[in-house]
Chain A
Amino acid sequence: MAPTVPSAAKSASPSQPSGKSEVADLKQQLRQLAGSRAPDADDQRRDVFKRVISCMTAGIDVSAAFGEMVLCSATSDVVTKKMCYLYVGAHARAHPDLALLTINFLQRDCRDQDPTIRGLALRSLCSLRVPNLVEYLVTPLATGLKDPSAYVRMIAAVGAAKLYHISATACIDADLPASLKALMLSDPDAQVVANCLHALQEIWTLEAANSEAAAREIETLYSKPVVFYLLNKIKEFSEWAQCHVLELASKFLPSDNNEIFDIMNLLEDRLQHANGAVVLSTIKVFLHLTMSMTDVHQQVYERIKAPLLTLVGAGSPEQSYSVLCHLHLLVMRAPMLFSSDYKSFYCQFSDPSYVKKLKLEMLTAIANESNTYEIVTELCEYAGNVDVPIARESIRAVGKIALQQYDVNAIVDRLLQFLEMDKDYVTAETLVLVKDLLRKYPQWSHDCIAVVGNISSKNIQEPKGKAALIWMLGEYSQDMHDAPYVLESLVENWDEEHSPEVRLHLLTAVMKCFFKRPPETQKALGATLAAGLSDTHQDVHDRALFYYRLLQYDPAVAERVVNPPKQAVSVFADTQSSEMKDRIFDEFNSLSVVYQKPSYMFTDKEHRGPFEYSEDLTNLAVGAEAPENVISAQRYQENDNDLLLSTSDKEDNGTRASNGSSTSTYNAPSDLIGLSSQTPAETSLINTGGPTYSSQSNFSLDDLLGLGVTEAPAPPPPPALTLNSKPVLDPGTFQRKWGQLALALTQECSLSPQGAASLMNPQSLIRHMQSNHIQCIASGGHPPNYKFFFYAQKDGATAFFLVECIVNTASAKAQLKIKADDGTAAEAFSALFQSALSKFGLS
């Protein structure tokens, strides 16, 4: 109906001259209409307004017409009014003086008979966001909150939050939060209640930074009466408000199991809601509530499985990816529980490749004795897929499944079939996997070598595949008839080999081959070492030199170094730490899950400013005020870990046990809080994580690794004050001492920028401090604020030091409160503590 102005549609850029003449024309027309009382003036005004808005949408700067628009704003037509509000809202900021003109008609509209007009006017009034007009806002808002129409109250509630953003003091001075709270707990209209909740959360979270009172108020929002009041009304809320209330409930800490079951009973039917956002929020509540109850937690998984799978399949394609990401997270935590649903994760041809990738990972994770055959059969079908990255991915998946299974007989055959497909990328991927398989299951070498021996190294272009083949040639040269000759021909083409990785492998393989079949390899070895020594790549050169000197020193020693008896690799290290996974799990139903990274890793600190719902420190389950919370927080974490062990890690343990190699375990326990006294070596081993394999050999390499490790954590400097490395203090005693002792020192110090950045969660700092003999008894918080309670004991004495440490990662500052049994040593301890803290993140 409204013909779009042609020139506006064309000019996408505001700088185009046609836009300017258009605006001038519009101004002219508006001026004529301003005082007009002609019968069709309303219609004309409406048309001109439409054109103005249309120009605005096209990106033309129409702010020049502000004065004229305001002059024309006196109208009784609702649609024209709305357009006018829209215009004024967009431009008032740039024209604060002219905006004053609009106040008059907006205030008048706020007293209109029609609740729609009252509501709209109030919304627009709050959307002006001009600081010097705040005084005109407070009264209409206060009246709006008491309006007989729910529509107006609902808008007023949100308006209060908007006012807070414009001027916090005006909002607080007018005591709007108190009115909001009263309204939230009494209003009959669910949407008003929801909007009050939303506004209160926004206001108090920001206010909590400056005022203790607001911090307490926040706590009351998460208290039992409020949470239950809202949950009991849940069905009355709109689906979006339900999400909001559920989010609140997920942060609620129930005091006993009855409360947990009450909430779950209340919310059970929300899992059947048509809106996926509600379903996910409910799932979050269920998961968080049952964290401490292992059995129930597993039942929850069983219960939420069906709704999630339905959402993935039946929802729109847009939803299904996000849901799949969440499902992925759950599957990775508890693969066992999903093992019977493997068919749901079969890739459809029409799935986009990012969906296929997730599904492949899940299929890999849930494979167990009962379904491996079906899954591997399915994965093999993808290997011939048109989508090459997915074909690669599925071959890797088959390999991973083989690595985590006990009975790999059938899988090895399948892998070997891939080699016969004669497609370069399939061959390359498969070779890498066969290599890994042989490292874990040397007993399969016979079958594999027979097939691998037939592959011509000339057909493999990819460095990874080539390196794998060379590794096998070296490792199994005694079984492969022509290994020395293949290696020799590879050495001849040394200069054409561009990848240093391949050249490194070639060096080692020739060495290994030499010790197994000396006469046939001697010539090749000489050529290899010569080529290696003149290589431009640093590592290749160094390794060649190393081998050369070793051989010169004593060939027998060289053989022991290069060809030691190998122990099968039991577990390959995981790339994503379990700590990280836990962190993402805590952020269930958020963007973190979609990115598979905790939010601190991708959220831009600069922009979080006023919008951030930073978790307030008082929210933590810490502190002298709440002794039972300290313990419950600990238990919570421990239980969480138990649960993990009982599900996802079960298999790893099984494998480890069955292989009988109990060298270092890699599953970093995430509950170091106040528990176990980990030695620095162990701690740093966890941190080094990465691609190193856990139980390499019982040989020299281990020593090397061991050396590196003890150096890594930067032992505390030898201070005058030495601390007991294993002090014991139970939370109750800590509590009592903290209450009794006087404050010895208060200090502010700063962290290194790296430290602040790496403080992703409390555990990292706790470990670091532990390596400095300072133990943590309780911790908590969310970015950017963390709170810790540490203690330490003077070596050889009974005196304890207690520290409350609040760290803000955004500013890289820490506030310390130190209390000590022996006040005289407090200074020395403080220095020690600060030096330890300042080194955090640098090691």
Chain B
Amino acid sequence: MLQCIFILSDSGEVIVEKQMVGHRVDRAICGWFWDYVLANAAGDPSKILQVVVSPTHYLFQIYRNGVTFLACTQVEMPPLMAIEFLSRVADVLTDYLGDLNEDIIKDNFVIVYQILDEMMDNGFPLTTEPNILKELIAPPNIVNKMLNVVTGKSSTLGSKLPDAAASFVPWRTTVVKDASNEVYVNIVEELDACVNREGVLVKCEAYGEIQVNCSLPGVPELTMSFANPTIMNDFTFHPCVRFRPWESDQVLSFVPPDGQFKLMSYRVKKLKKTPIYVKPQLTSDSGNCRVSVMVGIRNDPGKPIDSITVQFQLPPLIVSADLTANYGTVDILADKTCLWTIGQIPKDKAPALSGNLRLEEGLAQLHTMPTFQVKFKIMGVALSGLQIDKLDVKNTPSAPYKGFRAQTQAGKYEVRS
């Protein structure tokens, strides 16, 4: 049970305070928390643990765009529940306000209070479905537009209320108006890989999400099947997905919520191929370290590989670094990070970064080798190979427009040297 939720700015100032139970939490706890952040992470809340124990309370915190969501409790509770809830609060607020930052929250704090009031009662999460919340609390732009309507006939706003709350598909309101009769499916994959010193692929996994943007009238019935469902090692579903059809035939059958949502996420283990290679070489002797990094296409995914960057932390004990590339730009950032922005790999040459690092006086060889973090993006392809076979929409007055997309990007893609 959460006793209180604070929203803090990135200087530790309290933007919103919402007490959840009778036992008030003094806001001095925020001061304590901020001191802790300063002491342990130099004022960057994203660097500290999500669960912090203070002398009086257990604190859960998540950090989004300079805003810290801080929850306090004094009793034992599932930590993931608190963290999931705070993440949900952040998501709902982003959804409501279009974005999430200190100024937006300050400008709309009345909405924020109302939302928190509906999302949690007596310390336990209550309504967190954006669809239902939007019926209880009008989003800000509508409030502006229809101020008079709302104030004049507040009862019409309320009478809609029980619809979704009592509905058996709580994520969907029974009447969706203004539907443009379209459904878009987007497969988004992140490739995590680890290549060791010898250039061997130690680990390669893909995490995928199927995002659906649905604008269909009425209560549509959707079924989706994959050409190769067996490649997925594990999956989680949106509550709308029926479990049995998936169990028996690996078919996703669901009544979708209106708008954008994450239909499922999955994991594909033990991939064998990476689209590009990054070959770093560091050799050091007598106070100098020669660096050479080669990048090229290893397995052509059939679509252009975009936004390639290679980034690494310069090892400590380096006096100066002189690094150049035959393609793209090389920047040494303030925190001694070297960022090589390549973009697309050109047809005529292989991008290479080379140069020299001067070590500190008295140090002949380099002992700590940097890890190279690689980023890229490929539109139009899901690298795990997952393919949607078909998507059927039933229960709609006319055949809707169906759109499919896919993209893969590098997640934690690391090459050691």
Contact B161 A280 (CB under 8 A): no
Most buried by A among B125, B128, B150, B197: B125
Contact B75 A611 (CB under 8 A): yes
Number of A-B contacts (CB under 8 A): 270
Contacts of A799 in B (CB 8 A): none
> Is A542 located at the chain interface by the 8 A CB criterion?
no
Contact B154 A76 (CB under 8 A): yes
Contact B237 A272 (CB under 8 A): yes
Contacts of B15 in A (CB 8 A): 57
Contact B315 A386 (CB under 8 A): yes
Contacts of A314 in B (CB 8 A): 207, 236, 265, 267
> Is A244 located at the chain interface by the 8 A CB criterion?
yes
Contact B165 A313 (CB under 8 A): no
Q: Mark B163-184, 1 if CB is under 8 A from A, else 0.
A: 0011010100000000000000
Q: Which stretch, B45-53, B290-298, B343-351, touches the partner chain A?
A: B45-53
In the complex with contacts A113-B155, A386-B313, A1-B203 CB distance below 8 A: no
Q: How far is the CA of A77 from the CA of B202 in the complex (A)?
A: 62
Contacts of A53 in B (CB 8 A): 109-110, 113
Contact B267 A313 (CB under 8 A): yes
Contact A78 B194 (CB under 8 A): no
Cβ 8 A contact of A151, one of B151, B161, B262? B161
Contact B166 A83 (CB under 8 A): no
Instruction: Using C-beta atoms within 8 Å of the partner chain, give the interface range for chain A.
Output: 35 or more
In the complex with contacts A114-B154, A608-B74, A384-B84 CB distance below 8 A: no
Contacts of A115 in B (CB 8 A): 158-159, 161-162
Closest to A43 in B: B147
Q: Which of B197-234 touch A at CB < 8 Å?
A: 197, 202-203, 205, 207, 233-234
Contacts of A235 in B (CB 8 A): 239
Q: How far is the CA of A350 from the CA of B311 in the complex (A)?
A: 12
Contacts of B154 in A (CB 8 A): 76-78, 114, 116-117
Contact A354 B49 (CB under 8 A): yes
Q: Mark A591-624, 1 if CB is under 8 A from B, else 0.
A: 1111100010011100110111100000000000
Contacts of A114 in B (CB 8 A): 154-155, 157-159
Contact A306 B202 (CB under 8 A): no
Q: How far is the CA of A150 from the CA of B161 in the complex (A)?
A: 9
Contact B76 A599 (CB under 8 A): yes
In the complex with contacts A59-B14, A322-B51, A2-B107 CB distance below 8 A: yes
Closest to B147 in A: A43
> Is A27 located at the chain interface by the 8 A CB criterion?
no
How far does the Cβ of B112 sit from chain A's closest Cβ, in whole Å? Answer: 10
Contact B236 A384 (CB under 8 A): no
In the complex with contacts A57-B14, A591-B79, A277-B84 CB distance below 8 A: yes
Contact B151 A42 (CB under 8 A): yes
Contact B155 A162 (CB under 8 A): no
Contacts of B58 in A (CB 8 A): 591
Cβ 8 A contact of B239, one of A2, A274, A421, A593? A274
Q: How far is the CA of A244 from the CA of B81 in the complex (A)?
A: 10
Q: How far is the CA of A273 from the CA of B50 in the complex (A)?
A: 22
Q: Which stretch, A341-349, A435-443, A482-490, A543-551, touches the partner chain B?
A: A341-349
Contact B157 A4 (CB under 8 A): no
Q: Mark A566-601, 1 if CB is under 8 A from B, else 0.
A: 000000000000000000000101111111000100
Cβ 8 A contact of B367, one of A9, A322, A423, A587? A423
Contact B150 A165 (CB under 8 A): no
Contacts of A82 in B (CB 8 A): 110, 113-114, 117
Contact B166 A150 (CB under 8 A): yes
Contact B83 A322 (CB under 8 A): yes
Q: Which stretch, B300-308, B324-332, B368-376, B380-388, touches the partner chain A?
A: B368-376
Contacts of B285 in A (CB 8 A): none
> Is B144 located at the chain interface by the 8 A CB criterion?
yes
Cβ 8 A contact of B233, one of A54, A191, A306? A306
Contact B80 A276 (CB under 8 A): yes
> Is B405 located at the chain interface by the 8 A CB criterion?
no
> Is A193 located at the chain interface by the 8 A CB criterion?
no
Q: Which of A684-703 touch B at CB < 8 Å?
A: none
Contact B129 A238 (CB under 8 A): yes
In the complex with contacts A57-B109, A158-B122, A240-B125, A277-B267 CB distance below 8 A: no
> Is B192 located at the chain interface by the 8 A CB criterion?
yes
Closest to B267 in A: A310
> Is A733 located at the chain interface by the 8 A CB criterion?
no
Q: Which of B57-115 touch A at CB < 8 Å?
A: 58, 62, 74-81, 83-87, 106-110, 113-114
Q: How far is the CA of A162 from the CA of B196 in the complex (A)?
A: 58
> Is A512 located at the chain interface by the 8 A CB criterion?
no
> Is A63 located at the chain interface by the 8 A CB criterion?
no
Q: How far is the CA of A595 from the CA of B126 in the complex (A)?
A: 27
Contact B110 A83 (CB under 8 A): yes
Q: How far is the CA of A777 from the CA of B32 in the complex (A)?
A: 47
Contact B1 A611 (CB under 8 A): yes
Contact B197 A381 (CB under 8 A): yes
Contacts of A244 in B (CB 8 A): 124
> Is B238 located at the chain interface by the 8 A CB criterion?
yes
> Is B397 located at the chain interface by the 8 A CB criterion?
no
How far does the Cβ of A731 sit from chain B's closest Cβ, in whole Å? Answer: 32
Most buried by B among A58, A188, A313, A318: A318
In the complex with contacts A2-B107, A236-B168, A318-B87, A198-B124 CB distance below 8 A: yes
Contact A589 B76 (CB under 8 A): no
Contact B165 A238 (CB under 8 A): no
Q: How far is the CA of A274 from the CA of B264 in the complex (A)?
A: 8
Contacts of A2 in B (CB 8 A): 107-110
Contact A1 B368 (CB under 8 A): no
Q: How far is the CA of A247 from the CA of B1 in the complex (A)?
A: 13
Contacts of B113 in A (CB 8 A): 53, 82-83, 86
How far does the Cβ of B163 sit from chain A's closest Cβ, in whole Å? Answer: 10
Q: How far is the CA of A343 from the CA of B269 in the complex (A)?
A: 10
Closest to A391 in B: B368
> Is A96 located at the chain interface by the 8 A CB criterion?
no
Q: How far is the CA of A603 from the CA of B74 in the complex (A)?
A: 8
Q: Which of A103-126 touch B at CB < 8 Å?
A: 113-117, 123
Q: Which stretch, B16-24, B272-280, B352-360, touches the partner chain A?
A: B16-24
Contact A273 B239 (CB under 8 A): yes
> Is A411 located at the chain interface by the 8 A CB criterion?
no
> Is B43 located at the chain interface by the 8 A CB criterion?
no
Closest to A423 in B: B367
Q: Mark A123-153, 1 if CB is under 8 A from B, else 0.
A: 1000101000000000000000000011100
In the complex with contacts A151-B161, A602-B53, A612-B78 CB distance below 8 A: no
Contact A587 B62 (CB under 8 A): no
Contacts of B243 in A (CB 8 A): 269, 272
Contacts of A238 in B (CB 8 A): 125-129, 170
Q: How far is the CA of A195 from the CA of B123 in the complex (A)?
A: 11
Most buried by A among B56, B108, B170: B170
> Is A249 located at the chain interface by the 8 A CB criterion?
no
> Is B403 located at the chain interface by the 8 A CB criterion?
no
Contact B80 A150 (CB under 8 A): no
26 A–B contacts from the bound complex (CB under 8 Å)? A57-B14, A57-B109, A78-B151, A114-B155, A116-B161, A123-B117, A123-B121, A151-B162, A158-B124, A165-B21, A189-B166, A191-B126, A238-B170, A240-B124, A273-B236, A274-B237, A276-B84, A277-B85, A314-B236, A318-B86, A384-B369, A423-B367, A590-B77, A594-B79, A595-B51, A613-B75
The 5 closest A-B pairs by CB, nearest first: A116-B158, A240-B125, A269-B243, A114-B158, A306-B234
Further 4 A-B residue pairs, CB within 8 A, beyond A57-B109, A195-B121: A82-B117, A114-B158, A310-B234, A610-B23
- Residues of A bordering B, CB below 8 Å: 1-4, 9, 12, 42-43, 50, 53-54, 57-59, 76-79, 82-83, 86, 90, 113-117, 123, 127, 129, 149-151, 154-155, 158, 161-162, 165-166, 188-189, 191, 195, 198, 235-236, 238-240, 243-244, 247, 269, 272-277, 279-281, 306-307, 309-311, 313-314, 316, 318-319, 321-323, 343, 346, 348-350, 352, 354, 377-378, 381, 384-386, 421-423, 587, 589-595, 599, 602-604, 607-608, 610-613
